[in-house]
Structure formats: C-alpha cells, structure tokens
Chain A
Amino acid sequence: MNIPLPLFVVIPLIVAFLLPIIGSLGGKGKSASTLLANITVLVLLALSILSLGKSDVYQVGKWTIPLGINLVLDGLSVLMLVAVSVVSFAAMLFSVKYMEQYTAKPKYLSLFLLMVAGMNGVVLSGDIFNLFVFLEVASIASYALVGFGCEHEELEASFKYMVLGEIASIFVLFGVALVYGNTGMLNMAYISKSIQQNGMNPGLTFALGLFIAGFGLKAALVPFHAWLPDAHPSAPAPISAMLSGVLIKTLGVYALARIIFNVFGLSLPVAWILLALAMLSMTVGAFLAIGQRDIKRLMAYSSISQVGYIVLGIALGGLIMVKQQNIVLASLAILGGLFHLLNHSVYKSLLFLTSGSIESATGTRDMKKMGGLTQRLPLTRATCTIASASIVGIPPFSGFWSKLILVVAAVQAHFYWIAALIVFVSLCTLIMYLKLQRYVFLGDLPEKFKKIKEHRGTMLASMVFLAVLCVFMGLLVISPTLKAIVLDPAVRVLIGGLRYSKNIITISGM
C-alpha cells in the first residue's frame, strides 16, 4: 500500500503547532516536546525509507489534475526526501543537548519542523504555485532560525539572508505569474504539455530566466552567493547543518533541476548557462574558502563550491544529452551529480555538527586560537577527519566515488578541461581541510583549553551516525541492487525529461 503523500508535510506541521502548547506547560513539557520532535523526525525517516523505489501521484481532496493540487512522488523526490530525513534526524538528535544554551527551545523545535515540512512540500509538490508556497514556508522558517540567537552578527546575517531570499522568492513568484499568463496552467505536467505543443515564447523564456535567477539565489550559485557565508555560520550548528546540508539543495538545486529538465525542457543555451554557473561556483567558492579563519565560514564557502559540483554533474548530463544524444554518458554524469548531492548532504552536515561540538567545547570559532584539540575531543576529531576525507575524495569514503563518476563522465564525453577543473578544485578542497585539521586538531594545546570536555550522549550519537553513513555510502554505487533502488530512479526522472508530463497524466488516470 502506498503511503499517503501529504503525511510527509502534515505530520511535521501538526507537531510543529503542538510543540509550543506542550512546551508552555513547564519543565516536563519541554522535555516532552523535545522527545516528540525527535519521534517525528524518526517517523519521517522511516516513512521516506519505506517509500524508496515507489512512485505515486496524489490528488489532494480528490480533485483531479489540472483542477486540483497534486503531489508527485518519483525517484528524484524520494532521493531528496531521504536526504532531508537523514539530515534532519541527525540535526534534531544533535540539538537535544546543543540547544540547551539558547532560550525558547520549543519555538526552535517548532520552527525546525516547519522548515522540514516546507522542504518536504517543495520536494513533493507537483504544482508550480504550491512549490512557491512551500518554498516560502521553508525559507521563512530558516530566516527566523538564522537569527535565532538575536546577537549582533546573527541579526545582521539574518537580515542579509532575508532580503536576498525574499528577492529570490519574488522572482520565482513573477516566474509563476508569467507561466500562468502564457500557458493558463499551474500544474507542472500540464505546463510541460502545453509548452511541448505550443513551443516557447518570449514570456516563457523570461520566466525561465527568472526561475534560474530565483532558484540560483536560493542555491547560492556564485554570482548570487553573497548571503550564504554570513547566514550559515551565524545559525546554531544543527541549523547550519540543515541549511548547508539540505535546504540549499531542495530549494535550489532540486527545484532548478525539476523546472528545467521536466517542465521547460532542456536546451543548449540553458545547459551552458548552468554549466558556467556551476564551474564559477566551484572555483570561486574554493578559492574564497582557503583564506578563511572562522571554521564555519570556511565550511560555508566550501558548500558553495560543492553545490557547484552537484549542478555541474546535472548540467553536464544535460549538455551531453542535448549535444551528443548519448543517453548512457548523460545518465552517468547525472548519477554523479545526484550521488554527490546525497554525499554532500551527509558529510557537510557532519562537518557543521562537529564544528558545533568544537564551538560548544571551546567557545570560539577562530581556527588560529585553537590547536591540539585531538587530546581533548578525540571522537569529534575522528568524525571530522572522516568527513574531511570524504569531502576531499580519499578513496574508501563516499566523496571519492561521486567525484570519480563525474570525472569519468567528463572524460568520456571529451570535456577534458572540465575533468581537470574537477580534480583541481578537489585539490583546493584538500588544502582547506588540511588547514582545518592542522589548526584545530594538531599543534599545541593552548593553556585555557586544557580542561574542556567533549559532549557525550546524543550529540556524539548523531555525529557517529553520520560518520558511519559517510563510510558506507560508497556502497550505493558499488552494489548494483542498492543503486537500482536509490539512485537509478532519480537519474531516470531527469533523463526522461519531458516524458514527466506524460507519466503524470497517465498515472493519474486522465
């Protein structure tokens, strides 16, 4: 039996609205609300894993499309759902202890779940306006969470993030309006059908440009990246993990891929634009990251560079598909991009969680003031090293496989310079994470850190959970059965391109 899809959105929403009520009941209510929030994310994780490999179209309120709202579950959505659930589970587990230093914990949990609901909604939505609504839910919750500490830096970062994020949302809304004006539809499948029948016109092209700008702002691709290095470090550590790990991917990369591949259809210029943006983000992000002294800021810049990798994989696949008509190679490149997306959401959230652990132990984020923390924080060091090795691409870890696939796809498609760029940016990544290891964990231990202790319990459990995933994620491409369940359906969705609309319309029985 298929799981009713709105559950993914409704469960976190309901719990999010219950939590402030429970939390206001006093001390017991607070721990109960924490427990409830943890159970919720666990349930979401179980549901998303159960729905792996399925596909479904759900018509809300039994209104048939294109009249009603529909939710679509296909390979790509499931992949994103699993990523969101895994990272939110780890971050929630981490925040049980970590958020003790802030006041108003029930509100934090409530906003957290609201953000999860918004992201699940974005991933599942089969309706372009609903996508905008859920995008706004997730981003408004994230603006509030970035400014949660209410200190100087946090407010400033939150304002910056908010202004840029709102402008991005308005761009998306404008795009939706233009699409509605030109096709008379809001359902993605029917928009796609209408575009296939009537072709593009200037209005739709303009809308596509607005979508690229809007979702690019959300994904922090390089010309639009200014908010990310401020917003991500300022948030509490679990929220940085969520923002860097999944938010920029669901709101940015996923939405971009869905709109371009499945709704508008790929064309050569669009693929080149995406490729250019991706390469720019990769190099600029990596260069800017090397110079940073703040741990979280370094990781944030490295996120920009890694999102570049993901978009590069997807855009390269699109380019190969349009230009050389080589489906096998294109699916290889897209597989690399999507696998990198999954990997990055795991190891980047792990890195941010370790940074949170370091910060709560030492009280600073400045790398120059640390050193020798291996003695005091051995397990944090171990997980951080695993994550760093993974992000750099050292063989047994997950990051290696996705980068290898990207390089192989680029070489086979005769884009040698792209392959060289991938390897070069990997080297830059190696430099920045060696720098992190060197300044934070090696060297002499400063006098004032002699007494600090590592946090045990849930914080450590979530980090170890993600580290274990980091080690074994490589199995997803090595083992054919796992690959067939998790990654292949997602790749097929993007390769299928405009067949999306036909699939949806036949599944929904129209």
Chain B
Amino acid sequence: MLYALCFLLFMIGLYCAVVKKNMVKIVIGIVIMEYAVNLFLIMLGYRTGGQAPIVGQKDIAATGTELTNAFINSSVDPLPQALVLTAIVISLGSLALMISICIRTYEKYGTFDITEIRRLKG
C-alpha cells in the first residue's frame, strides 16, 4: 500500500517533468521523481518498530550472540540508507548543474518557457 503511494509520487514527478512548460517546474518534477525513489528505497529497509542501525555502547559490551542477534533482528536495514545517501549526493550534483543551466538559459533567452526556446529543430 505504501509502495503504491511511492509509485504515485513517482508518477506525479514524471507527469510534471513531461507536461510542464516551465524549465524550473521540469526540474522540480525531476527532483520529485528522485525523492520518490529515495523514499521507496528507505521503505524497503524499514521494519515496523525497528531501531536505528547504530552500534551503541551496550551492543559492544555484550559480545554474546543473543544480544547481537537481538540487535540484528530489531534494527532496520542499513544498506538502503547508504544507497539513499549516495543517491542524494548525486542528485545534488545534477540539481546544481540543472539549475545553473536554467539560469544561463534565462540570461540568453529571457524566458523559462520551453516552447519559446526552440532554436534547434528536427
């Protein structure tokens, strides 16, 4: 069910990126898509009532297998979080580049409307 909401967010972003005519709105649509995927990744690793996957003092002290197992069984999956962190860094880079291209295009053409920015054709 929650996954479906993620997918809905993804589709909203895709719609926004495909249909809108303003360059900034297209960028916003792409970012929404990106965050929908990030949310999806985070939810893959979540378990109900799970705890943060950080090893604390008490987990170190108890080297016995029982506590370790309890920790493993109760923490959420840390891998998707690492993936999302990397994906966020990447999306930051591409977002900065997209915004800068938007600004430069605005300087050249004086508009954000992609229907008016049509020097290339074919």
Contact = CB atoms under 8 A, between A and B. Distances in A.
Contacts of A151: 108
Interface in B68-110: 79-80, 83, 86-87, 90, 93-94, 97-98, 101-102, 104-105, 108-109
A152 B30 CA distance: 23
A159 B101 contact: yes
Given A129-B83, A133-B86, A144-B97, A177 B41 contact: yes
Give the top 8 A-B pairs by smallest Cβ distance, nearest first: A181-B44, A155-B105, A136-B90, A177-B41, A230-B120, A170-B33, A174-B37, A166-B30
30 contacts: A129-B86, A133-B86, A140-B90, A140-B94, A143-B97, A150-B104, A152-B108, A152-B119, A153-B119, A155-B108, A156-B105, A166-B30, A167-B14, A167-B17, A167-B33, A170-B30, A170-B34, A170-B37, A173-B87, A177-B40, A177-B41, A177-B44, A177-B83, A180-B41, A181-B44, A230-B120, A234-B120, A288-B122, A291-B122, A292-B122
Contacts of B17: 163, 167
A167 B30 contact: yes
A326 B34 CA distance: 43
Per DSSP, are chain B's interface residues mostly helix, strand or loop, or mixed? helix
Contact of B102 (A159, A166, A173, A234): A159
A151 B23 CA distance: 17
Nearest to A178: B40
B42 to A, nearest CB: 10
Contacts, number: 89
Contacts of A163: 17, 26, 30, 98
Contacts of B86: 129, 133
A272 to B, nearest CB: 26
Interface of B: 10, 14, 17, 23, 26, 30, 33-34, 37, 40-41, 44, 79-80, 83, 86-87, 90, 93-94, 97-98, 101-102, 104-105, 108-109, 117-120, 122
Interface string A63-100: 00000000000000000000000000000000000000
B120 to A, nearest CB: 5
Contacts of B101: 143, 147, 155, 158-159, 162
A136 B119 CA distance: 28
B92 to A, nearest CB: 11
Nearest to A174: B37
Contacts of B10: 174
Given A153-B120, A170-B30, 18 more contacts: A136-B90, A140-B90, A140-B93, A151-B108, A153-B119, A156-B105, A156-B120, A157-B120, A163-B26, A166-B34, A166-B98, A167-B14, A176-B83, A180-B44, A180-B80, A181-B44, A234-B120, A297-B122
B84 to A, nearest CB: 9
